[in-house]
Amino acid sequence: MSGLRSFFKRLFRQRPEDELTPGFSYRIYWTKTCLPWSQEKRERVQTELQDKLAESSFIRNPYRRAYQLRSIEGRYSGESLYCLAEVLESLSLQGDRGE
């Protein structure tokens, strides 16, 4: 139980930049969205997302929904996708530890 508690504590720790961007809210949204996904879907989205974040044209904009992923419906801002990457990374680390 303490492993799960520390996972959420790390994930939802407010950072100084959270006062200026919607990152905290995006991390909450993506955590709620990703938890029911299968491991296969998380890995598929994470792979596609890494490619998107590596594009030279990618901009970590806070609100403009300029990006789409084939694996999930909708359009998302750069900041939202960056937060999704953080959540998927945290979930994969959590799974690696078996907690």
Q: pLDDT by residue for the chain (99 residues), tens digit each? A: 567 777 777 777 766 655 666 998 999 999 999 999 999 999 999 999 999 999 999 999 999 999 999 999 999 999 999 999 999 999 988 775 555
Pair of tokens at residue 95: 């799974």
According to the model, what pLDDT value does residue 50 have?
96
Residues 6+ apart with CB under 8 A from 61: 77, 78, 79
Rounded CA-CA distance 37/43 in Å is 10
CA-nearest of 82, 35, 92 to 60 is 82
Q: Output the pLDDT for position 19.
A: 61
Structurally, the chain folds into a number of domains equal to 1
Model pTM? 0.77
Q: What residues make up the domain containing 41? A: 2-96
